[in-house]
């Protein structure tokens, strides 16, 4: 199951408490669903949890049932209300005049209480939200085709202490979050703490993998440098030997050359430990540079 679907399943398990919260959540769903105006309300969803939640939610909020509901086993399910009396009851519940452009604005007066605002945001996410798999990236967004509703959603998030960014895409107004800690906080506030923990865990795993990869790459680069340096040193020593100059070098340089030829796979630190007496890596490196310089001359 996609991570976004898992989040919606978790949100759909939130208990439906007071009628005000039920109406606020239904309001968020209606403003971010497929169609909502004075002639029709249509909600299309693939979420199994939301399919089970919608009938209970709308009955708790408005004491009404859907005119059409999805059949058992349907992938995408359509919930439809076309009865004028039912639609009028919904409009009246939000304090909106019949035939008003309800889908173009949010009646913020119905969302002054924090619990109602949270329920509204949860409903908006259930109908028009998505969140990226945190193992692939960090992005949570809510999309609506109504410009004013998008702007009012931004204000509601600000009131809740969140500060998302906004953009437009293909005629839709998008409110989104890109930082993992902000996404964690939003999911927790909406009622999905398990999913928020999933984001946190994925972040830790990604950071750990990145750290390991950087270390491996660093070690690989250092190994390549060490191999190249050893190859240059051995080439220099063989050059001095061929020119007959190796035997005339000071004892320390001859010992260094011998150790390098006998142990081409060892690092400078390991070679330094084999010297008699042992020397520091810096001292052995100085001897190696001297051999290379003599060979160049």
CA distance 196 to 180: 9
pTM of the model: 0.70
User: What pLDDT tens digit does each residue of the chain (297 aa) get?
Assistant: 799 999 999 999 999 889 999 999 999 999 998 888 888 999 999 999 999 999 999 999 999 999 999 887 777 889 999 999 999 999 888 877 666 554 467 878 788 889 999 999 999 999 999 999 998 899 999 998 888 888 889 889 998 899 999 999 888 889 999 999 999 999 999 999 999 998 888 888 877 777 767 777 776 777 778 778 878 888 888 888 888 888 888 888 888 888 888 888 788 888 888 888 888 988 888 888 888 888 887
Can you give 101-139 as a three-state secondary structure string? Answer: CHHHCCCHHHHCCHHHHHHHHHHHHHHHEEECCCCCCCC
CA distance 283 to 153: 68
Other C-beta atoms within 10 Å of 30: how many? 23
Pairing of β 140-144 and β 77-81 = unpaired
């Amino acid at each position: 199951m996609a991570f976004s679907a898992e989040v919606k399943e978790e949100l759909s398990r939130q208990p439906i408490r007071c009628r005000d919260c039920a109406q606020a959540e239904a309001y968020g769903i209606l403003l971010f669903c497929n169609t909502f105006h004075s002639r029709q309300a249509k909600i299309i969803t693939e979420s199994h949890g939301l399919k089970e939640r919608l009938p209970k939610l709308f009955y708790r909020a408005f004491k009404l049932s859907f005119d059409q509901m999805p059949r058992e086993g349907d992938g995408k399910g359509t919930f439809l209300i076309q009865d004028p009396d039912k639609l009028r009851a919904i409009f009246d519940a939000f304090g909106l005049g019949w035939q008003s452009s309800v889908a173009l604005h949010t009646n913020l007066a119905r969302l002054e209480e924090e619990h109602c605002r949270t329920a509204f945001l949860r409903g908006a996410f259930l109908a028009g939200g998505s969140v990226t798999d945190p193992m692939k990236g960090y992005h949570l967004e809510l999309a609506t085709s109504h410009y004013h509703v998008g702007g009012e959603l931004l204000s509601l998030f600000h009131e809740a202490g969140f500060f998302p960014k906004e953009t437009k895409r293909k005629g839709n107004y998008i409110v989104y979050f890109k930082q993992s800690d902000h996404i964690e906080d939003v999911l927790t506030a909406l009622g999905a703490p398990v999913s928020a923990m999933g984001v946190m865990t994925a972040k830790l795993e990604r950071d750990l993998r990145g750290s390991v990869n950087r270390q491996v790459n660093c070690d690989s680069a250092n190994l390549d440098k060490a191999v190249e340096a050893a190859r240059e040193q051995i080439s220099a020593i063989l050059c001095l030997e061929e020119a007959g100059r190796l035997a005339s070098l000071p004892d320390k340089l001859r010992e260094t050359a011998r150790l390098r030829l006998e142990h081409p796979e060892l690092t400078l630190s390991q070679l330094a430990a084999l010297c008699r007496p042992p020397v520091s890596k810096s001292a052995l490196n100085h001897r190696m540079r001297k051999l290379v310089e003599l060979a160049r001359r």
